[in-house]
Structures are given as C-alpha cells and as structure tokens.
Amino acid sequence: MCGIVGYIGGKPAFPILLKGLKRLEYRGYDSAGVALLESTNLEVLKKKGKVSELEKLTETKTYSSTIGIGHTRWATHGEPSDKNAHPHYSSDQKLAIIHNGIIENYGALKTELSEKGYEFRSDTDTEVFITFIEDIKKTLDLTLEDAVRIALTKVVGAYAIVIMSTEEPDKLIAARKGSPMVIGLGKNEYYIASDASPIVEYTNEVIYMEDEQIAIITRNDLTIVDTKDVPQKAEIHKLDLKLESIEKGGYEHFMLKEIFEQPRSIADCMRGRLNATEGLLTLGGIRNYSEALTNAEKIVIVACGTSWHAGLVAEYIFEDLCRIPVEVEYASEFRYRNPVIREGDILIAISQSGETADTLAAIELAKSKGAIIFGVVNTVGSSISRITHEGAYLHAGPEIGVASTKAFTAQLTILAMIALRIASKKGTISESKYRELLVDLENIPAKVETALKSDDKVKEISSLFKDARNFLYLGRGYNFPVALEGALKLKEISYIHAEGYPAAEMKHGPIALIDENMPVVFIATRDSSYDKIVSNIQEVKSRKGKVIAIVTEGDVLIPKMADHTIEVPATHEALMPLVSVIPLQLLSYHIAVMRGANVDQPRNLAKSVTVE
C-alpha cells in the first residue's frame, strides 16, 4: 500500500516521478505528491485525490530539479487530505520524506518531540518519523545517512522510505523493512520504487532491497549498509518485465485487459512445466522439498482475499486427488491464534503481490516453528518469494487492476499442477486419470477463451441487475469457493452487497433473504453435485428469486428453471473453477462500469496490502 518513487541523475526528475506515480497508483490513490530540489529549496507539491489532481496543480509549471521523490497514498494515519499527503518535511523544511508502511511507536515519539518544542502540521506517523530524524541529526550533529540509520534502530513498524535534504543536495537515502523497494541502475542515475513498473522503461538492471538495509545513493554511486553500518553486498537482477504488460493495450480498464488475458496467462503459467502428450509435469521451483510435500501428513494453506479463495479450491483438489488433509487459513487469523505447527509441517502461502503483510507474518511464524514453506506467488523478487523455502511463480504478468482476476486463475493452475504431481507420485490417482487430467489442464486456456465469448450476454444480464442492492452467489463442491470469489468481485468494485454461500447452507438462514428482488447467481456446472444444486435452484425459484445460472454447455434442464443462463465449456470438476469464474469476473466488471464505479481503483482499496 502506498507507492513510492525516487530519482537521482541527469534528467529532469519531475516527469519521471509523475509517470512513476501513475504506474504505482494501483497501490493507493488517496493523495499524491512530489518533492524536488529547485535551486537550494525544497519544493513540495501535493494534493488530495488521484495523481491527475497533482498533475493539474503542476501543469503550467516547469521544474529543473534532477533529484526528487514522489508518493501516492493509501491512508493509514490521518484522513486523505492535502495536509496528510506525502512528501512530509522536517520542521526546518530541510528534509523531505516519502514513506510506505506504519510507524507503530509514533505516538510516544510524537510526545517526546512535542515536549522538545516541535510542532506538527499533519496527523501522520510519517511527519513524526522525519522530525525524529531531524532531531537526531541536529542533536548529534550527524550526516543524513547516520541520522537515518540511528532513527531506524529506534522506530517500531514497517517502512520503505526515501529521504532528501537541502543540505546534502546530491544524495537520496532509501531504506526498507517490511515494505517493498527496488532500485533501478542507470548510467549515472538511479531510480527507486515500490515495484519495478516505474523503472522498466529506463533500465532492466535492479537491486531488490532487503529488510533493514539502507541505501546511500548519489548520481555516481550506490552504497548499501545495514542498521549497524555494516556494508552489504547487493545482487543485480535482470528485470523480466515488458512495458506492454503494464499498459492498458487498448482496453478501457486494466481489469478488462486482465480478464481477457487469461487464456494466455494460464498458458504462460503452464509453459515449460506441463506436457500432456509426454505425461510430464515439472515444477523447477519445487525440488529439494519435493519428498516432504509428497509425503505430507497435512498441508496448511495461508492467504488473504482472492488468494484465500484459490486456497479453498486447492483444499478440495488436494483432498480429492492426493488424499492429504488440508487446512485453509486466513493469514490474519493464523498469525495471532497460536496455531499448532510442528517441525517439518508443510505450509503453502498464496499471494499475487508477494507483499501482503499478514501472509508474510504467517509465513514467518510457521517458519520459526520449523515448517517447510512453499510459495505460490506472482511478483518475481517479492518479499514472500524470497522468504519461502521453495515455490512456483505464477508467470501471469503484472496484475494492475485492484480486483484480482488473472492471478486467481494462475494460482488455481499452479495448485492443480502441484496436486497432480503429488497424486501421481503417491499413486492416489491412476495413471490414466493422471494423464486425462493433464490433457484437461492443457485444454483450459482454450476453454477460458470460449467462456470469454459470453461477454455480450453477461453485459446484457448486467444491465438488468445493475441497480440491485444485494446479490447471493451459491455453489457446491469445487464451485463453492467460486461463489465466494464471485461475491467478492462484485462487492469490491461495484459496492453492491453480495454474499457467497455453499448452496446447501442457504436453507439454514440466507433463504430468508430471497424475494422477487434478490438476484441469485448459481454456479451450477455439471459435476458430482449437479442434481443437488438443481434442487437448490428450485428452492430459490419457488420463492420468486431471480436466478442467473452458470451452466455447462448443452445443459437443457437448468435453462428451463433459471431466469438467465450463461454457458461455459465442460471440463473435469476439479478444474471447473478455472472456467466457471470467468463469467463472474465479467459480471462484476460490467455492473461496476454501468454504475459509474472506478473498477481499476475501487474506493478504500489498494492492490498490495502491506499493512496488517
């Protein structure tokens, strides 16, 4: 949450920062701001709202500074406002800071600093942080980097920060703990950002900063130390990110682009790993602990949000195909409830961003108890990918729309591949079933392509229900987590209240909600619970509910009962969530657009949840 960007080099910094902020806006859009060094003065420009508001504020001006920092905010301490927007500066206005994260002991620090006579202009923890650095610098007469280093040993919390100073005008100081930070290496220039998207068009050489590292960056030099001032080795990585993948490519929204990208992203996820003709399944990232995974007595899955829904589907697949008991946990609950984890237990962490604070903390907890951790992560080089023992990347490409779509289907693909590999090794499925499932999996991209052809029909249905105040989503078996995911998608981007339920649970409460105004989306594809869900549809129809049913191509029974049906191609039930979720993604997208909502940047949300 919050995007940070910094530049030092020979080019005008402002356009680089502004473009970088637009790329990072998915991380938060409560306010945006930049700080530049114009001659010897700090020029801080900031505005509540989106980056476009900041752009309007600055459109008639030119800036010559070749050093600067920028920030797009997801509010934690203090409401979204001009005064709480970053960058913040010190009381003497000589230091400016941008910060992603939370300083937990800011209250005590603020009291201490207030007693010394400092005054604060904002409600933020970040202003306290920079004032604290200012105080240390002045009291101990230190350089900027030493003052920052000492301050970092005294603050509690998470941060990715970049600081600049009028007194040391050719230097940026950057540091991280618990929040992501990447440094791009150019020729006599450096770029700093929360992720590689603002950097990729300038350089493909990057360093991923580690926790508690501090970078001292001048135009010609980069030095990294830890908080004890011990020099750190930095590994230079080559970015494997294409500029097109972070642009809309002609689509109206990133979310729509990402929905339609799924045939390709699922194929990319399987590329080089799955060969159905040869019966081969190779997951290069799962090697050393492969035996432990295959022989696991239990698997715990931790994740949040949509990734947690992917975990629920995995529970069905692992138990069904591998006969291994699975527990799927919200990372935020797991980390605080003293879970029973023993040496050698297996934990799978699922995360698109690889930066989700609760998932990271859950991993750290399990790791401290001796668990073996596997990551199913999209963002290469992210914190989760680096702290897990082994894992598999999704290779779905950057997901920029805040609502997760292509990451979900790629997560399901990886988890299905892991399950199939275990099942084949353990012999819990026959060779012929294994082969059959490999073929089915390989055919999924084509089936998703077909499912996407329902777009016009889904749009038509969306126009009929766009003003609904509530929705119910019901599914059974493998399609139950899909119902949860469909409801989440609708809630988060259209702001319509929606609930997902196992269809059979309806009669234990939610059925009371059903009347002629209640749209009920059934995910009712042909599988082992088909007959049961047909009865559930009838129960809703006899109470005058409006039924929208996702059915398998060629179904003749449900279309006679439902008000609207959307067909998807048939596949094995364990893989059906990959296909049945597609119309639900489209439904939420079209309803949100018709309601005038900003689908790529829904209110109060941010893409990467780096606070707990």
Active site residues: 2, 607
- Residue 609 found at the interface with ligand F6R (CB under 6 A): yes
Q: Which of 324, 344, 420, 337 is nearest to 389 (CA)?
A: 344
- Minimum Å gap between C-beta 22 and ligand F6R is 20
Given candidates 126, 197, 352, 424, which one binds ligand F6R under the rule CB under 6 A?
352
The interface region with ligand F6R, picked from 158-166, 273-281, 305-313, 386-394 by CB under 6 A, is: 305-313
| 77 phi, psi to nearest 5 deg | -95, 110
Crossing angle between the packed helical segments 576-594 and 479-494, to the nearest 10 degrees? 20
- Is residue 72 within a helix (H) or strand (E), and if so which, with residue range? strand 67-73
The interface region with ligand F6R, picked from 203-211, 347-355, 424-432, 508-516 by CB under 6 A, is: 347-355
Instruction: Provide the Cα torsion 525, 526, 530, 536; round to 10°.
Output: 20
- Residue 403 found at the interface with ligand F6R (CB under 6 A): yes
Name the residue nearer to ligand F6R (CB basis): 256 or 540: 256
Name the residue nearer to ligand F6R (CB basis): 520 or 609: 609
Tell whether omega for the bond before 87 is within 30 degrees of 0, i.e. cis.
yes
Given candidates 65, 84, 131, 307, which one binds ligand F6R under the rule CB under 6 A?
307
- Minimum Å gap between C-beta 66 and ligand F6R is 34
Given candidates 131, 213, 353, 409, which one binds ligand F6R under the rule CB under 6 A?
353
Contact by Cβ (8 Å): 477, 575: no
Name the residue nearer to ligand F6R (CB basis): 485 or 527: 485
Q: Six-digit token pair at 495?
A: 């702001």
- Residue 195 found at the interface with ligand F6R (CB under 6 A): no
Name the residue nearer to ligand F6R (CB basis): 110 or 335: 335
- Minimum Å gap between C-beta 492 and ligand F6R is 6
Helix (H/G/I), strand (E/B), else coil: 369 = coil
The interface region with ligand F6R, picked from 20-28, 270-278, 302-310, 439-447 by CB under 6 A, is: 302-310
- Minimum Å gap between C-beta 319 and ligand F6R is 22
Name the residue nearer to ligand F6R (CB basis): 17 or 586: 586
Q: Six-digit token pair at 403?
A: 């609502």
- Minimum Å gap between C-beta 63 and ligand F6R is 34
Burial of 247 (0-12, 13-18, 19+ CB in 10 A): middle
- Residue 265 found at the interface with ligand F6R (CB under 6 A): no
Q: Six-digit token pair at 427?
A: 């012999």
Q: Number of residues interacting with ligand F6R: please give it, by CB under 6 A.
A: 14
Beta pairing partners, 100: 160
- Minimum Å gap between C-beta 606 and ligand F6R is 9
Alpha carbons 600 and 586: distance in angstroms, whole number: 14
Name the residue nearer to ligand F6R (CB basis): 135 or 600: 600
Cβ-proximal residues to 297 (8 Å cutoff; 6+ apart), any chain: 324, 325
Which residue minimizes CB distance to ligand F6R? 305
Q: Six-digit token pair at 554?
A: 């060629």
- Minimum Å gap between C-beta 224 and ligand F6R is 26
- Minimum Å gap between C-beta 91 and ligand F6R is 36
- Residue 388 found at the interface with ligand F6R (CB under 6 A): no
- Residue 404 found at the interface with ligand F6R (CB under 6 A): yes
- Residue 577 found at the interface with ligand F6R (CB under 6 A): no
Given candidates 31, 100, 165, 351, which one binds ligand F6R under the rule CB under 6 A?
351
- Residue 306 found at the interface with ligand F6R (CB under 6 A): yes
- Residue 198 found at the interface with ligand F6R (CB under 6 A): no
Cβ-proximal residues to 207 (8 Å cutoff; 6+ apart), any chain: 182, 183, 185, 222, 224, 234, 235, 236, 237
- Residue 381 found at the interface with ligand F6R (CB under 6 A): no
Alpha carbons 466 and 593: distance in angstroms, whole number: 9
- Minimum Å gap between C-beta 331 and ligand F6R is 8
Name the residue nearer to ligand F6R (CB basis): 164 or 300: 300
Given candidates 125, 195, 345, 492, which one binds ligand F6R under the rule CB under 6 A?
492
- Residue 304 found at the interface with ligand F6R (CB under 6 A): yes
Alpha carbons 499 and 529: distance in angstroms, whole number: 20
Phi/psi region, residue 67 (left: phi>0; alpha: psi -120 to 50; beta: rest), is beta
The interface region with ligand F6R, picked from 80-88, 313-321, 346-354, 561-569 by CB under 6 A, is: 346-354
Given candidates 359, 383, 424, 479, which one binds ligand F6R under the rule CB under 6 A?
359
* Residue carrying the six token digits 């989503």: 473
DSSP 548-593: EEEEETT--SHHHH-SEEEEE----TTTHHHHHHHHHHHHHHHHHH
Helix (H/G/I), strand (E/B), else coil: 244 = helix
Given candidates 90, 124, 332, 356, which one binds ligand F6R under the rule CB under 6 A?
356
Q: Which of 104, 152, 162 is nearest to 132 (CA)?
A: 152
Name the residue nearer to ligand F6R (CB basis): 193 or 403: 403
Cβ-proximal residues to 344 (8 Å cutoff; 6+ apart), any chain: 292, 370, 371, 372
| Contacts to ligand F6R by CB under 6 A | 304-307, 351-353, 356, 359, 403-404, 488, 492, 609
